[in-house]
Structure 1
């Protein structure tokens, strides 16, 4: 998809991969709907982009709440008249071995990492159908295809997201709604520090390898070329 002048909604837009993706899509000429829980950071980012002549709106929301997800997508369409791309990037990890994992932590990340993207897809699909097509990019992780001690809960949520993406891709293909899965590796962000669970168990995360800007470039490449899956290679 050509990104210039397309309306792109990005969750988790205030930091890390999401922030880098906002900046990269802005330079590609996108119109941006920015979604994250941090209202102050999001408003500051929107003002910065607007000062550069980029059409952007801050839409603070908790994407683990389906009602808030529905509202931000409706507000995006109200503001810009359409919705071309949804990038489901917001996510969190929970750490702990299977023997000691806190089930409540697992439920929390399921709500954010799986039910959040599902709510966004279900809100966006009718809009994209009416428009005649659109693009959904779900940010997964290479750990969804690995077995790493201490992060099974996170990997399981991303494996679930993969299955939703793969199935939706087939279900929606005839309606010109494309679904892409992007699989980052370990990235130099605060993601690991923000994980739920016992701090000393966080050694399960590999050492940072990629910058958020590198991952954002791969996300843009996925939007432009529309592979089923995008890796960091």
Structure 2
């Protein structure tokens, strides 16, 4: 199947970012704000959001915020309604809120596995259900769904997280076909190994770590381009392409980055602490 020609870049006017109080989300808020967008932030913690908004304001970037739990459809619907009621429309949705932990899967508490899926997959689903009808009615919109190369290439020590991100990827690609002709564009955005709480809590040997600022600048470019996939790291893009040609080779390469941590986890017999935004 041939892909449609790339669409011209569009100005981003209003962007709604989940998990926007810290890490990649806060860096994206800064980057979109510097690009001239109105910034709307969602996260679970009101105090953390207030601190984030104050930090952005000190840099000349005003930010609207509202506390919301992405795993609660009613909380999401109320927050999105408030955002649209205050600002009129949403040009870009960034599904960034996430949860993950590095562990041996058999040692992972079942509740932790459920929380990864609830936040990463069902959280994304809840935001899409709340925002897509608005974008379809307007005939325009871009959704960046923050994923991971771990959801594209089998990753030992990240099985639950990988499964949740793979679910997001297939949801987005499926919805793209359903939304053809509506003016709404969906993107799987892959930030790469990034210096956030989750990034520092996860170990991938010989894999360089991106800065949140670099990832955020890439997100702004991705929102303007509206491509089906966008990789902030060239290494991840290359790994994905290799894995598509040879899944076994892709798995071997990914296993090489986690071999040492797998031995450490096997020795301790306990999971790493989960991290979330």
Does the TM-score normalized on the shorter chain lie above 0.5?
A: yes
1:140–1:162 Cα contact (<8 Å) kept: yes
Match of 2:47 among 35, 40, 48: 40
Match of 2:218 in 1: 218
Which deviations, in whole Å up to 9, do the C-alpha atoms of 1:104-145 show, x marking residues without a partner?
111111110000110100111111111112111100001112
Distance 2:26 2:222 in 1: 17
**How many Å separate the matches in 1 of 2:205 and 2:165?**
15
- Report the Cα distance in structure 1 between the residues aligned to 2:54 and 2:147, rounded to whole angstroms: 29
1:84 aligns with 2:91: yes
Aligned-pair RMSD on alpha carbons?
Answer: 1.9
Return the alpha-carbon distance in structure 2 between the equivalents of residues 54 and 117 of structure 1.
26
In the other structure, the counterpart of 1:12 is 19
**Given the two structures, how large is their TM-score scaled by the length of structure 2?**
0.76
- Structure 1, 8-17 or 203-212: larger mean CA deviation: 203-212
8 Å contact from structure 2 (residues 98, 116) kept in 1: yes
Residue 197 of structure 1 corresponds to none
The residue number in structure 1 matching 2:37 is 30
Tell whether the 8 Å contact from 2:22 to 2:52 is kept in structure 1 after alignment.
no
The normalised TM-score by structure 1 is 0.89
Contact in 1 for aligned 2:187/2:226 (Cα 8 Å): yes
Give the gaps of 5 or more residues in structure 2. Answer: 1-8, 235-277
1:168 and 2:175 correspond: yes
* Higher Rg: 2
Of 99, 119, 123, the residue aligned with 2:126 is: 119
- CA separation in 2, counterparts of 1:3 and 1:37? 29
Alignment of 1:110 onto 2:117: yes
